[in-house]
Structure 1
Amino acid sequence: MTIATRAVGIDELRRAWCAVQEGQFLLPRPTERETVPRPTAPAVADDRTWHPGETVLPVVGCLPQAGATSLALAIATHEAPARVIECSPPTASGLAGAATAELGTTSSGWIVGRRDQVHLARPGTHHRDAGLLPLPDDAATGTSLSVLDVGWELGQLMALGGWLSATVDAAPRVVLVGTATVPGLRRLETTLNLLDPARAIVAVRGSDPRRWPHELTTAMGPATGDQHRAGRWVVVPHDKRLALRGIDSKPLPPALVAAGREVLRHVSAAGHPQRGNS
């Protein structure tokens, strides 16, 4: 980097030296009771913990377009009355066209809608990280389950504060959604290594691992292989219509809802999901 300089005359140097000698350039030192003022952070609400009354099941996509949102909706559809809380930014929403009835925006900033007995909530504004998400509103009367479509990379989420990170960290069961591809299995393995494996239920979009080609079976990491051998594994079918059009107001494919039912069977077999942080 080049710094521009100018010539300094003898008279200017002499005046500067005299000013130093007279103490004109000395900064006042704080006394014992004084402190140098520092910039203050914006005030943040003290209570950032979510206290839902219903059970909560987080669903984490291990990579983009893994199908986490559609599986979260399938789980809620099977367990209805239930709701899906999508936590990804509005620009990445998979539920924008999912409601059969839009119910507006709540005072806390969530856009809410409904499809049959499943209520939907998604952020109305963009937040630079998950720690800034507003707390979800209370669930509708009779809601048995809130499915969290986490929508953030798990490592990034765990490094942040906020109710979403705390909820995922406290949940007894977390559904990890991957794809039957080499990159998908790599990301699934790294995500599994961030969790206690006993908490994870793996859902992989594609065929049963027994039908995988050799290059896929060899891409399965140790933690992923342990999940399959332990039976904490759900095969999620690939649906061409969903892949092409995304989630709309039409009913979900029955095979996908069946996969959601299978996820809940594993959750029930392992113990109930979280019922609020009280």
Structure 2
Amino acid sequence: MAMNIGVITHLANEGDCFAKMSDFGLNVCQLMCWDVSMATREIAENTVRHAGAAGVTISAFWGGLPQPQVWDFKEGPLTLGIVPVKYREERMKVLKKWADFAGWIGTRALVTHCGFIPENLTDPEYDGVVEAIREIASYCERLGIEFWLETGQETPVVLLRTIERVGMSNVGINLDPANLIMYGKGNPVDALDVIGKHVREVHIKDGMYPSNGDELGREVPVGQGKAHFPELIRRLREIGMDGNLIIEREIWGEQQTRDIQAAIAQLKGWLQ
């Protein structure tokens, strides 16, 4: 099965959010939302209707978590994902609501960042994180969907170890090569040697390695960073990954549109 090109689309307008897809000439998206108040049956039904009218397939749903969220190395471990005990219970409830929404719209998986999962498996907090991921994955399994961990705050071997210990077949990885680079956690091409068999979908996003020990590296337009997409796509094909390639550009406005269009053109060339 060929890898399809898609784009991140933000849930908005009560589910009427797919008009721009036709501007890009794409019919696959990963739907994203950070506002859990939108996780209702009514909005889900509207979303399905509008996606159908636009001829769009929603490949997965990316569920954001409540504040605080600090995307750096200083406060990130204390605020991101379901790792911080202080926020875990509330955020697990939010993820279950997003899982319900993902099930209602008939998509394949719920995706999120789990946070800075401890590198040391003997860390006293590690088992609790594993149990939390297993609980969310079990909830998703009952709904007939998968739970994908997006790369970012963890090294590839931590993701592998955690998936092994969770021990559920519906847990996979949403590979964001830029995140591996921007967090200094690994080379995405080499990471496939460790986690490749668990990769279900890929974000097409590019970035640079950190230049200091406190801040993430910069996101840059696709093809201008360290992701080396031609080689990454070659390796993805070698390992048999046939999931979608979802373009993500975390800026706003006309420049975002131009960068996404440029990424589409480059991807078409790399996939030939």
TM-score (norm 2): 0.35
Say which structure is richer in helix: 2
TM-score (norm 1): 0.34
Higher relative CO (CA 8 A, sep ≥ 6), structure 1 or 2?
A: 1
Larger radius of gyration: 1
